[in-house]
C-alpha cells in the first residue's frame, strides 16, 4: 500500500507540470492581425519563400511555448503564461513551412535557414526573451 501511495504522489506531482498549450491562452487571431501587414509576404527566415496568401503564413514564437514551459514557465500562474504567449516581441510572421521546420526547437537546435542577415536578429530576440522572462 505504501508503494502505491508513493507512486500515486509521484505521478500526481509530475503530471501537474506537463506542457499543455491551451494553458498559455495564445490569441493567434490578434497576433496575425498585427504581424501580417502586407502581401506579398517574404519569409524573414527564408527569403526564397514569397507568399501571397495569408493562410500560408504562420506566427512563430521565437522562444517556443514548450521551450519556455520546460525552462521555468511551468511554475508561472495563468496570467503570466498568457502574457508570455501573447508577447508580440517574441513573435514573428513566417511561412508555414519554416514554422513547422522549427517547431519547438531551441536556439541551439535550429538556425535561420536562408537569411544570414536575420540570424543575428533572431538570436538577439531569443536571448532577450529568455532574459525578460528569466527562463533557464
In this predicted structure, the answer to whether residue 95 has a pLDDT above a threshold of 70 is: yes
> pLDDT grade, residue 4 (50/70/90)?
low
CA angle 58, 59, 64 (to 5 degrees): 120
Q: Is 60 left (phi over 0), alpha (psi -120 to 50) or beta?
A: beta
pLDDT digits (tens, 9 = 90+) for 11-23: 444 456 899 999 9
Print burial letters for 106-124: b (CB count within 10 Å at least 16), e (below 16): eeeebebbebeebeeebee
Instruction: Check: CB of residue 83 under 8 Å from CB of residue 52.
Output: no
* Residue keyed to cell 529568455: 130
pLDDT digits (tens, 9 = 90+) for 49-74: 999 999 999 999 999 999 999 999 99
Q: In whole angstroms, what is the distance from residue 107 CA to residue 62 CA?
A: 9
DSSP code at position 74:
G
Amino acid at each position: 500500500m505504501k508503494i502505491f501511495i508513493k507512486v500515486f504522489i509521484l505521478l500526481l506531482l509530475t503530471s501537474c507540470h506537463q506542457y499543455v498549450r491551451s494553458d498559455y491562452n495564445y490569441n493567434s487571431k490578434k497576433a496575425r492581425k498585427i504581424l501580417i501587414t502586407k502581401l506579398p509576404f517574404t519569409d524573414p527566415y527564408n527569403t526564397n519563400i514569397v507568399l501571397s496568401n495569408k493562410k500560408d503564413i504562420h506566427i512563430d514564437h521565437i522562444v517556443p511555448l514548450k521551450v519556455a514551459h520546460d525552462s521555468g514557465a511551468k511554475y508561472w500562474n495563468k496570467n503570466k503564461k498568457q502574457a508570455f504567449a501573447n508577447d508580440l516581441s517574441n513573435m514573428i510572421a513566417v511561412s508555414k513551412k519554416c514554422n513547422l521546420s522549427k517547431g519547438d526547437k531551441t536556439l541551439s537546435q535550429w538556425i535561420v535557414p536562408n537569411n544570414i542577415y536575420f540570424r543575428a536578429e533572431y538570436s538577439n530576440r531569443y536571448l532577450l526573451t529568455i532574459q525578460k522572462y528569466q527562463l533557464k
